[in-house]
Structure 1
Amino acid sequence: MDLQLAGDAALVTASSSGLGKASARALAAEGSNVVVNGRDEERLAAAVEDIRTDAAEGATVIGHAADITDPDAVEALVERPVAEFGGLDHLVTSAGGPPAKPFLETTDEEWYEAFDLLVMSVVRAVRAAAPHLRAGDGGTVVTIASITVKEPKDNLVLSNAVRAGAVGLEKVLSTELAPEIRANAVLPGTHETPRVEDVVEQGLERGDYDAYEAGIAEWAERIPVGRLGDPMELGRTVAFLSSPQSAFLTGVALPVDGGESGSTL
């Protein structure tokens, strides 16, 4: 399926690794010009080079280092694709996960930091991007959240609670910014990202697993399709939601979890 994204301009925040990187890769593979973002300049440069290997002919991929919790940095980040590509058609908001903790061990400071990372980064990026997204033929916003907003997980109180705010925001945006801009969210379940790989490696060091593959298999036991997600499966879903092929979808919070969540809502 041709997603009709060739020549479009896209910005993906927190995209030097994991699901954000997969989303940037999928957009570039469809021919979009993409700004990739991260805080670590060395890792960002490596991610840009990696994504370029899969980019469609004619697509440009550039990096912009910025901390998405810094308001001024977010404004400059949003202006980068406008300066480089002449506009902005697609905004994908991604962010790293907050610390894994139970409620009673979580401090006020950690709550505020999580809100700044997971919600205010989206607020600021969309606020800055909205005029540019409206100026094109049909702008899109896709927020990468988590399946935990539908089915909370133990010891993930910050992700469970705070990410729900970003999904609620997307629903508001889908009406307030319509019809020029569509806004959707994806709710990934467990994918084989560097973060999950690190957790399995730590378990391997503790002796929880006999081999890395055994650790991955244990994680996959709770997923009906019998395996973890490939990050590119999430990335291609983001690209689809950014494309004219999904033109009648807005205000959606779409699970991409292999059936992992038991929620019917």
Structure 2
Amino acid sequence: MDLEIDGDAALVTASSSGLGKASARALAREGSNVVMNGRDEDRLEDAVAEVRADAADGATVVGQPGDLTDPDDIEDLVARTVDEFGGLDHLVTSAGGPPSKPFMETTEREWYEAFDLLVMSVVRTVWEAEEHLRAGDGGTIVNVTSRSVKEAIDGLVLSNSVRMSVIGLEKTLSKELAPDVRANAVLPGSHETPRIEELIEQGVERGEYGSYQDGLNDWGQGIPVGHIGDPMDLGRTVAFLSSPQSQYLNGIAVPIDGGAGASNL
């Protein structure tokens, strides 16, 4: 299927690794010009080179370092995209996860930091991007959040609580920015990201798993499709939601979890 986003301009935040990088890769494979972002300049440079090597002919991929909790960095991020490509058609927001803790061990400071990272980063990026998204022929926003907005996950009180705000924002934007801009969200379950790889490798070192594959198989237990996701499973969905092929999808939140969730809605 031709997604018809060849030559479009896309910005993907927190895309130097994991699901953000997969989203950038999927967009670049479809011919979109992409600005990638991350705080670690060396890791970002490596990620840009990797995505650029896999991009469609003619697609340009560049990196813009920046901290998503710094409003000035966000302003620079959007400005770089517009300066580089002459506009902005697709915004994909992603961010690292907050600490994994139970409620009574979570500090007030950690609550504010999680809100700043997960919610205000999206708010500020949309503030900066809105006029550019409206100026094109069908701008899109895709928010990468977590399946924890559907079902609370043990030990992840910050993610369970704070990410809900992003979904409320996404739904609001889908109405307030329409018809010029569509806003949707994806809710990832377990994917084979560097974080999961690290946890499995630690399990191998502790003797919990006989091999990395054993650990990977264990993580897949309980998932109806039988395995955890490849990050590109999510990336391809992000590219689809950014394309005219999904033109009647607006204000939705798509679980990408292999059927692991038990929620009816």
TM-score interval w.r.t. the shorter chain? over 0.9
- For the residue of structure 1 that corresponds to 2:54, the secondary structure is coil
In structure 1, give the amino acid aligned to 2:256.
Answer: V
Matches of residues 1-265 of structure 1 in structure 2 within 5 Å? 1-265=1-265
Supply the distance in 1 between the matched residues of 2:204 and 2:109 (Cα, whole angstroms). 32
Q: For residue 111 of structure 1, report the CA deviation from its aligned partner.
A: 0.5
Supply the distance in 2 between the matched residues of 1:242 and 1:24 (Cα, whole angstroms). 12
Supply the distance in 2 between the matched residues of 1:170 and 1:7 (Cα, whole angstroms). 25
Number of residue equivalences: 265
Q: Give ranges in structure 1 of 5+ residues lacking alignment.
A: none
Supply the distance in 2 between the matched residues of 1:52 and 1:181 (Cα, whole angstroms). 27
Identity score, percent: 69
The alignment's TM-score, normalised by the length of structure 2, stands at 0.99
- For the residue of structure 2 that corresponds to 1:43, the secondary structure is helix
Supply the distance in 2 between the matched residues of 1:120 and 1:78 (Cα, whole angstroms). 15
Supply the distance in 1 between the matched residues of 2:248 and 2:224 (Cα, whole angstroms). 29
Q: For residue 167 of structure 1, report the CA deviation from its aligned partner.
A: 1.0
In structure 1, give the amino acid aligned to 2:197.
Answer: E
In structure 1, give the amino acid aligned to 2:7.
Answer: G
Supply the distance in 1 between the matched residues of 2:226 and 2:116 (Cα, whole angstroms). 35
Q: For residue 202 of structure 1, report the CA deviation from its aligned partner.
A: 1.5
Supply the distance in 2 between the matched residues of 1:80 and 1:136 (Cα, whole angstroms). 17
Supply the distance in 2 between the matched residues of 1:128 and 1:39 (Cα, whole angstroms). 19
In structure 1, give the amino acid aligned to 2:52.
Answer: R
The alignment's TM-score, normalised by the length of structure 1, stands at 0.99
Q: For residue 199 of structure 1, report the CA deviation from its aligned partner.
A: 1.1
Calculate the aligned-residue CA RMSD, in Å. 0.6
Supply the distance in 2 between the matched residues of 1:30 and 1:65 (Cα, whole angstroms). 23
Q: For residue 250 of structure 1, report the CA deviation from its aligned partner.
A: 0.5
Q: For residue 138 of structure 1, report the CA deviation from its aligned partner.
A: 0.8
Q: For residue 188 of structure 1, report the CA deviation from its aligned partner.
A: 0.5
Q: For residue 168 of structure 1, report the CA deviation from its aligned partner.
A: 1.0
